[in-house]
Amino acid sequence: MFPNSSNLGRPPFHPKFQQPSNFFKLPLNLSPTLSHQQIVDAQFNCQNVDLPRTLLSGNLSPIPTQSLSYGNGSPIRTSTSTSPVFRGRKRLSNEQNVPLDVKRQRFHSPYHESTVANQTVPLPDERRYSAPGSVTPPLLHVNYAPDLVRSVPPFREAPFLEPREITLPVAKDKLSQQVLDLFQVCQQQSCDLKKKELCRTQLQREIQLIFPHSRLFLVGSSLNGFGTRSSDGDLCLVVKEEPVNQKTEARHILSLVQKHFCTRLSGYIERPQLIRAKVPIVKFRDKVSCVEFDLNVNNIVGIRNTFLLRTYAYLESRVRPLVLVVKKWASHHEINDASRGTLNSYSLVLMVLHYLQTLPEPILPSLQKNYPDSFSPSMQLHLVHQAPCSIPPYLSKNGSALGDLLLGFLKYYATEFDWNSQMISVREAKAIPRPDGIEWRNKFICVEEPFDGTNTARAVHEKQKFDMIKDEFLKSWHRLKSKRDLNSILPLRATMQKR
């Protein structure tokens, strides 16, 4: 499957069965919010995923069990008992022989035609892009397919090409060698990515029992080239083209997903929790891969910036080692935790890229300025993964060693960058004046999100935390400048053991 997977971070839909897709070209008749009927149907699907996986008609006769393989191939038994919709309550005698389809029409839908709701694209068994040992989910007939499941067009599969192989820089001094050694020990391995991709594939199949046409994307550090062996997995569930209200719709969708995980996958998914943040997530641990995951709904910008950062990561050989050592340094000094009012990892990555762009002899360009068509915010979602493979390498005249770049990074933010009036912009490849908008007012650190223009460092809202971050930059710069030893600001042995 790896590294040259054709479905890395994307759903297992084979191109033979795709219809032409105009992703992000919205039909005029689609509502921008979920209707009551769509929510009812999603709840119905969530309640009925344990129904025997055969065509339901007339009465519910016992049917042999089927197994779904998950993770390492261990079977998940599907229930052969009566649907949970009917458990724990006595049926009225005059309803004993009423077909389920009739009841479905009566309670949930004005439509009367039968629709297949849980199979979006027919896939031949021999070409199914998913985990080994998986089985085809049998058809579950219902009477109404909600508009929600028709609002995300089929995914047009395209070959996923791994970014070019780049040779790591040669270290000519002790500090640069320490940075390289740390990178080689702690960088995410292909086996780590394979675990996450296998989990994504299986979870997508499970979630499609509730939202049949949804798609699950692997995003963030797992796929952007800046992951470590201990990186969590980030997942984005796309249920429709239009923006989703994160306070209402996204929370409700995630509550259905959380319930599904608790009731159907409790043997494989551990501690699913709904976190009601600005962008709500379901946090959980996959017992098979032992990976922690965060799952959001329709945070489309996260898919776009994943592949923008992936392009930067493989554009120049010094980028990934420098980003990794900065993330490890910030984590060690407790300034890499947005939940505690400090910097998130995404902001740290953007800060490193910005520094490399603003050197007298830049090591990185602005990809969005040089290749606007490849990184357009309006690009169809199924095409964004192609950008990392279409951009040629950047040949910089700057030959600075990794150790000198780390020192320069600390010095830049300790003494040169004007936090009071400037904003970090990777899109512009320079520091730009702060906007006057409310999002930027009274903020201590301003880091521009390259696609939607929001502040990725908005979590730093207390002066005490801001002063702590600035102080750590200054102290680490002085210490590293005098010692020229990475251990003076980051204990290497302990960090390598954590990975």
Q: Where are the domains of the chain?
A: 174-497
Q: Looking at residues 157-170, what average pLDDT do you find? A: 64
Q: How far apart are CA 201 and CA 217, in angstroms?
A: 9
Cβ–Cβ under 8 Å, residues 445 and 422: no
Distances (CA, A) of 277 to 117, 443, 459: 31, 19, 11
Cβ–Cβ under 8 Å, residues 106 and 143: no
Q: How far apart are CA 335 and CA 120, in angstroms?
A: 44
- The SS3 of residue 323 is helix
Cβ–Cβ under 8 Å, residues 367 and 319: no
Question: What local confidence, expressed as pLDDT, does residue 123 receive?
Answer: 31
Global pTM? 0.71
Reply yes or no on whether the pLDDT at 3 is more than 90: no
Q: Which of 141-145, 297-301, 476-480 has the lowest mean pLDDT?
A: 141-145
Nearest to 133 by CA among 78, 81, 66, 191: 66
What band does 75 get if pLDDT is binned at 50, 70 and 90? very low
Reply yes or no on whether the pLDDT at 61 is more than 60: no
Question: What local confidence, expressed as pLDDT, does residue 498 receive?
Answer: 86
Q: Looking at residues 37-56, what average pLDDT do you find? A: 48
- What whole-number percentage of the chain has pLDDT above 90? 59
Question: What local confidence, expressed as pLDDT, does residue 377 receive?
Answer: 92
Q: How far apart are CA 240 and CA 333, in angstroms?
A: 40
More confident residue, 8 or 76: 8
Question: What local confidence, expressed as pLDDT, does residue 298 receive?
Answer: 95
Angle (CA) 234-364-396 rounded to 5° is 140
Q: Which amino acid is at 252?
A: H
DSSP states of 320-366 as a string? HHHHHHHHHHHHHTT---GGGTS--HHHHHHHHHHHHHSSSS-SS--
Q: Looking at residues 126-145, what average pLDDT do you find? A: 32
Question: What local confidence, expressed as pLDDT, does residue 164 receive?
Answer: 62
Question: What local confidence, expressed as pLDDT, does residue 333 receive?
Answer: 98
Question: What local confidence, expressed as pLDDT, does residue 116 receive?
Answer: 31
The phi-psi region of residue 326 (left if phi > 0; otherwise alpha if psi is between -120 and 50; otherwise beta) is: alpha
Q: Looking at residues 30-36, what average pLDDT do you find? A: 47
More confident residue, 65 or 237: 237
Question: What local confidence, expressed as pLDDT, does residue 278 receive?
Answer: 85
Nearest to 162 by CA among 366, 376, 9: 9
What band does 182 get if pLDDT is binned at 50, 70 and 90? very high
CATH of 174-497, one of 1.10.10.1400, 3.30.420.40, 3.40.190.10, 1.10.1410.10: 1.10.1410.10
Q: Looking at residues 132-159, what average pLDDT do you find? A: 35
Per-residue pLDDT of 416-454, as tens digits, reads 999 999 999 999 999 999 998 888 888 999 999 999 999
**Residue at token pair 């499941």:** 149
Per-residue pLDDT of 80-116, as tens digits, reads 333 333 344 444 444 444 444 433 333 333 333 333 3
Q: Looking at residues 201-222, what average pLDDT do you find? A: 94
Phi, psi of 426 (to 5 degrees): -75, -30
Distances (CA, A) of 181 to 62, 165, 170, 230, 489: 60, 19, 11, 17, 16
Q: Which amino acid is at 92?
A: L
Per-residue pLDDT of 251-306, as tens digits, reads 999 999 999 999 999 888 998 999 998 899 999 999 988 999 999 999 999 999 99
Q: How far apart are CA 305 and CA 70, in angstroms?
A: 29
Reply yes or no on whether the pLDDT at 210 is more than 70: yes
What band does 456 get if pLDDT is binned at 50, 70 and 90? very high
Q: How far apart are CA 157 and CA 20, in angstroms?
A: 11
Q: Looking at residues 241-246, what average pLDDT do you find? A: 88
| Average pLDDT score, the chain | 77
